[in-house]
Amino acid sequence: MTTKEKDEKYFGRGNPAMGLEVVKAEGSYVYGADGKKYVDFLGGAGVGNLGWGVKEIEDAIRNSDRPSYVYPNFYYKPWTELAELLAELAPGKLQKSYRMTGGSEAVEAALEMATMFTGRKKILSVEGSYHGNTMGALSIGASKKQKNFPNLLDGCEKLELPLNEEKLQQVEKLLSTKEFAAVIMEPIIINLGVIIPEGKFMAGLNRICKETGTLLIMDEAITGFGRTGKMFASEHFNIDPDILCMAKAITAGHAAMGAIITTQEIDEKVGGEIGLYSSYGWHPVAVDASLVALNFLKSNKNRLFQNIEKISNLFRKEISEINFRKDPEVRIKGAAIGIDLKDEDYASEVKTKALKAGLLMNTEGSSLLFLPNFQMTEKTVHEGIDLLKQSVL
């Protein structure tokens, strides 16, 4: 049986397979069993912020002399080192990290923490958004997905786009009921094709949250660790998150991990009681991968962030010169690139043609989504753009 046949027989897939069998991934390229080399603008959907197979991280995983497992209620030095590093990297007063295995678990934990801290039940989120596949995360996500399962959280309200100054009236009206435990969103909404909220909206949201005792949860599972040109996308705005969710690039793709980080004040009230036990949360292998990946990001920050700016500008220029069927809306923040083609069928046709041509990308509705790694060279960007040009006809 071929891999495809076995996959079809034994593998449960919530989303259709793309049709590519991978045998190797290196730097900005993915290699198929078909012998083809693919330019990777997909970046594992935001996981691979440093490119694939970073030697320092691979070595750390292989060489470390570590326990095979540490029971969560023991002390373990690398946990404290990673938590200290996250507190250093995270914005504002965020200081206490909780261990998770990924983004969905981090979102669930953030919702649990907010409801416990405030004693309130309702959650405000953004219509159409994606926060993971667990029931709580789905309940705060796109309403149309909820047709197939019961919405577990009572009283989830959704804000429609655009997120501008006018939208603050609705936010004020809802939050002043003091029934909402939290507002949760991505600060730059990559999962809706890189939607950039207005600065005035974000500053107003932050103010209203503080005035009404509503917690502000920033889900930075995909925006975190440099993706938008800042360490965290929350830093683009004048905001002060109470809880921040992390995942994906936290290990640069080398092991499963997530985290939430919160303030001392919130931790003092809920810590020790909230539970959030996670058997594999911050497994020693993942912690070693994360420590090396984040220290690499920290010590190469200037070089990497300069390169993000360089390729970001290059993408903007090159995309503006492509003849799409209709004029697209291009939304770029750092290494998060959304090209809204205003036609979902056209977007998926481009993605399919690009795959055939040797270029990997994602789509979100009618938008093409590129999440290149921060070490991608201009040469590779040009190579991918040439393949894109062939795929948009």
Ligand X SMILES: Cc1ncc(COP(=O)(O)O)c(C=O)c1O
Name the nearest CA neighbour of 90 among 203, 235, 215, 196: 235
What whole-number distance in Å separates Cα of residue 280 and Cα of residue 69? 9
In the complex with ligand X, the residue whose CB is nearer, 217 or 297, is: 217
In the complex with ligand X, the residue whose CB is nearer, 226 or 358, is: 226
In the complex, least distance from residue 131 CB atom to ligand X, rounded to whole angstroms: 4
Give, in order, the Cα–Cα distances in Å from 65 to each of 234, 288, 338, 379, 380: 36, 10, 42, 39, 37
In the complex, least distance from residue 363 CB atom to ligand X, rounded to whole angstroms: 14
In the complex, least distance from residue 45 CB atom to ligand X, rounded to whole angstroms: 6
Q: Are 175 and 208 in contact (CB under 8 A)?
A: yes
To the nearest 10°, the Cα dihedral for 158, 163, 167, 171? 50
In the complex, least distance from residue 142 CB atom to ligand X, rounded to whole angstroms: 12
Residues that bind ligand X (CB under 6 A): 45, 102-104, 107, 130-132, 186, 191, 219, 221-222, 247, 258
Which pair of tokens denotes residue 67?
A: 């326990």
In the complex with ligand X, the residue whose CB is nearer, 183 or 385, is: 183
In the complex, least distance from residue 35 CB atom to ligand X, rounded to whole angstroms: 30
Task: Report the chain's C-alpha Rg in angstroms.
Answer: 21
In the complex, least distance from residue 334 CB atom to ligand X, rounded to whole angstroms: 16
In the complex with ligand X, the residue whose CB is nearer, 23 or 45, is: 45
In the complex, least distance from residue 91 CB atom to ligand X, rounded to whole angstroms: 17
In the complex with ligand X, the residue whose CB is nearer, 262 or 380, is: 262
Residues 6+ apart with CB under 8 A from 255: 61, 283, 285, 286, 289, 290
Residues 6+ apart with CB under 8 A from 63: none
What whole-number distance in Å separates Cα of residue 80 and Cα of residue 266? 19
In the complex with ligand X, the residue whose CB is nearer, 159 or 381, is: 159
Q: Are 126 and 185 in contact (CB under 8 A)?
A: yes
Q: Are strands 94-100 and 258-263 parallel, antiparallel or unpaired?
A: antiparallel
Residue nearest to ligand X (CB): 103
In the complex, least distance from residue 220 CB atom to ligand X, rounded to whole angstroms: 7
What whole-number distance in Å separates Cα of residue 273 and Cα of residue 287? 24
In the complex with ligand X, the residue whose CB is nearer, 248 or 383, is: 248
In the complex with ligand X, the residue whose CB is nearer, 132 or 328, is: 132
Q: Are 43 and 336 in contact (CB under 8 A)?
A: no
Residues 6+ apart with CB under 8 A from 230: 236, 334
In the complex, least distance from residue 105 CB atom to ligand X, rounded to whole angstroms: 7
In the complex with ligand X, the residue whose CB is nearer, 156 or 247, is: 247
